[in-house]
Amino acid sequence: MVDRKVNGRIAWLAALLALALSGCSGPSSAKKDSPPESATSPRPSVGGPADPNATSPKGVEPGGSAKSGAPVPKLTPGIQPIPKAGQGGWKPSSTKPGDLAKNVASAIAGMRGVAGEAVSYVKTPEGNANARSVYKIQDPKRFRVDFLAVKELPSTAMLLANGTTKREITLGEPVKSLAVGARSPVAQLPPSKMLERWPREFSRLMFLNLTDGADAWTPVLSALSRGEEGFRTSVEERTVPFRGKQVKSVRVRAVRNAEAAKRLGACEMEMVFDAERYLPVTVRVISSDTKGKPWQLQWSAGWNFNQKFHPEEFERVE
């Protein structure tokens, strides 16, 4: 019963978003939401075997969207277990957390003409649900970035910027509007708070470099490397064959120790990045609060490059 309640809340968000955006922007000739028309990319799309539990292309749909061509993970229920250090082909990496953070932050901030799709699974004390997210990024002033608002009853949310105005639309909340370039409240968090908020809010925080000109990657990965909040952290890498190529991935795995878990709740996290473009492709958080209640999130994405968008795509969603 609870599962249907949570799933229903996410399922009808599209109608709410269309209504809210229609009221904000007026009539529009925007096309129905679909992946943008494809453009030839000089490099392979990011996705596929970067998922730490996929040892072959079987873990993703063969071609992803027929229009975008980006490999998109299947929408399957449940969170996949996080491989322990040294398992699943992962080996210690010489990459330092600080260097990885700089590369990822730069890659996010520099996204231009990028389209993506992600699938997510979330489990809270109230139930669980699957969700699909869309990313359309022309530049830092024109974008659509979906994310999860993770509360007892989670919901999907969206950032939509049309060149002058940035709107944040979350189910059950008023639409928040800011000038493009202005920092949202979450982007004004002090660096010391980023790691604390990361386990439930990573799907919003990880795009701050693009959407708000702020950075969560450096404070989060730096805090993990220092062992803050009781985390023990490792950086690993692996290379697997995919569509005739060798694809290298880098991952960060962090586990909270037992003493800290008593105070803050148990938590195990994993972040996987494509080692060529340094975009995130999988993030998992398996955690529980101090009462032992579960808070689990899994986000897996596929990216495509050299994409073209219509201005209407950043004005209204139907």
Q: Which two tokens stand for residue 102?
A: 């700089």
Cα separations in angstroms, 243 against 64, 68, 101, 281, 304:
13, 17, 28, 17, 16
Are β-strands 280-288 and 294-304 bridged in parallel, bridged antiparallel, or unpaired?
antiparallel
The 10s digit of each residue's pLDDT in 147-156 is 998 888 888 8
Q: Which residues pair with 177 in a beta bridge?
A: 167
Domain spans in the chain, listed from the N-terminal domain onward:
2-314
pLDDT above 50 for 138: yes
Look up the pTM and report it: 0.80
The 10s digit of each residue's pLDDT in 31-90 is 333 333 222 222 334 544 444 333 222 222 222 332 333 455 555 667 889 999 999 999
Query: What pLDDT, on a 0 to 100 scale, did the predictor assign at position 317?
Result: 64
All residues at 6 or more sequence positions from 173 whose CB lies less than 8 Å from its CB, including other chains: none
* Distance between CA atoms of residues 252 and 234, nearest Å: 6
The 10s digit of each residue's pLDDT in 289-299 is 999 999 999 99
pLDDT above 50 for 1: no
* Distance between CA atoms of residues 248 and 241, nearest Å: 9
Tell which residue, 11, 213, 266, 17, has the closest CA to residue 106: 213
Helix 13-25, helix 2-11: angle, nearest 10? 30
| Least trusted range by pLDDT, from 13-17, 127-131, 192-196 | 13-17
Q: Which residue has the tokens 């490059």?
A: 305
